Amino acid sequence: MLNFLGQALIYIVPFLLVLTLVVTVHELGHYWVARLFKVKIDRFAIGFGRAILRRTDKRGVEWRIGWMPLGGYVKFSGDLDASSVPDQAGLAELRQRVIAEQGPAAVRDYFHFKPVWQRALITAGGPFANFVLAIAIFTALFATLGDQIAPPRVAAVDAGSAAAAAGFQPGDMILEANGAPVRRGEDVIRVVTLNSATPVQFVVERAGQRVNLTATPVRTTTEDAISGTVRVGRIGLKMGYLAGDVRAIRYNPIEAVGAAVRQVGEVLSTTLSYLGRIFTGRESGALLNGPLGIAKAAGGITTQATAGEAPVGLKAANLGLMLIQFAAILSIGIGFINLMPIPVLDGGHLVFYAYEAVARKPVAARVQEAGYRVGLALLACLMLFATWNDLQKLNLFKFLGGLVS
């Protein structure tokens, strides 16, 4: 029992800490842009359900923490439903009520009566804040720790593998993969993982000469300490590097920002590429994670960072560093997901505002209602698919099968 509780703490506590940070920053993005445009706000909440902490500030905003820390929201005055995009009839009713209760001057303080471009910026403020958080984290890491370039060398080639068929040899230094420079081994892994059954063009350095090689990754079941059991592309290379190949890079503050922006761009580009391959049937979607998968990754990071015989202080510092990097990646993911054009997400709101800007009137109530139903169904399907992936990666079905037999 104690072992179970210990494992639960390892997985749940880091997950909730990282998720709370990312969600809080997302909601603060909405909040501060709304404040910039003098929008009246009723509530800023982190977590759902009954409040365990609450405080009302001098502006009348209730700040609360709910007992279920799996999200958050900003409630603008006059919000009638989850859509925050009432139609013309709803706007007229709201306007009359505000005028009757507070006078005509109060109308301009309400989110729904702000110009459409301001509402769009407030809506985009959440995802934008997530990207800013990731850039800030990467900037701090690059500015303080710098970076290292260590193009990987081939340490071994699995017999009969795609790499062996392509002509890789021990000692080859990998310089490029699909036309992109290779800075470290992770670059090769990313390209290979996202190109199952698709030829990948490599450039290696061999005895001072550049050699072009082509290998086709084979989808293989692998076990990862952080992700669990997954089926991804592999070519059968074991990589390492020589001490003389490592080049340390120091960044000034401006260069660190540039490097951070490039890092965020690479993550977004990889995400878009992977999703594109899923929709075209070239990838299975096995790498999509739900809450269980994210918690598993957080627990894997915690276990990995605290392993070994290092002093407690060094382990704590290593854990903090790895979790803050994980927070940056998760923040990019949440910002990206929220920009998807699904009505219940920020991206769906932006689609409605785009229509309103062109048509000069809000989307009809029946269209909004249908859109939100479809959006909820899409999100539910996505969450079910991601959770199914998580359960398979955690080998839960195999575990349950063992209990039944």
| Closest listed residue to residue 160, CA positions, set 240, 234, 236, 222 | 236
DSSP class per residue in 262-289: HHHHHHHHHHHHHHHHHHTTSS--TT--
**Phi, then psi, of 50 in degrees rounded to 5:** -60, 135
Which residues are CB-contacts of 154 (< 8 A; sequence separation ≥ 6)?
163, 168, 169, 170, 171, 172, 173, 174, 204, 237, 238, 239
Residue 350: count of CB within 10 angstroms of its CB: 19
Report the distance separating Cα 381 and Cα 396, nearest Å.
20
Q: Alpha helix (H) ranges present in 282-311?
A: 291-306
CA max distance for the chain: 83
* Residue 37, token pair as written in the block: 């445009």
Measure the CA angle with vertex 194, ends 191 and 198; round to 5°: 90
| Closest listed residue to residue 166, CA positions, set 194, 195, 200 | 200
Q: Report the run of H or E that residue 50 belongs to, with start and end.
A: strand 41-56
Q: Tokens 């009137």 sit at which residue?
A: 361
SS3 184: coil
Q: Report the run of H or E that residue 236 belongs to, with start and end.
A: none
| Closest listed residue to residue 18, CA positions, set 70, 88, 76 | 70
Please identify which of the residues 27, 223, 266, 309 carries the catalytic annotation: 27
Q: Residue 237's Cα: distance from chain center in Å?
A: 28
Measured in residues, the chain has a length of: 405
Report the distance separating Cα 22 and Cα 332, nearest Å.
9
3-state helix, strand, coil split of the chain in percent (to 5) is 55, 20, 25
| Closest listed residue to residue 133, CA positions, set 43, 24, 34 | 24
Q: Report the run of H or E that residue 76 belongs to, with start and end.
A: strand 62-76
Q: Catalytic site residue 309?
A: no
Catalytic residue numbers? 27
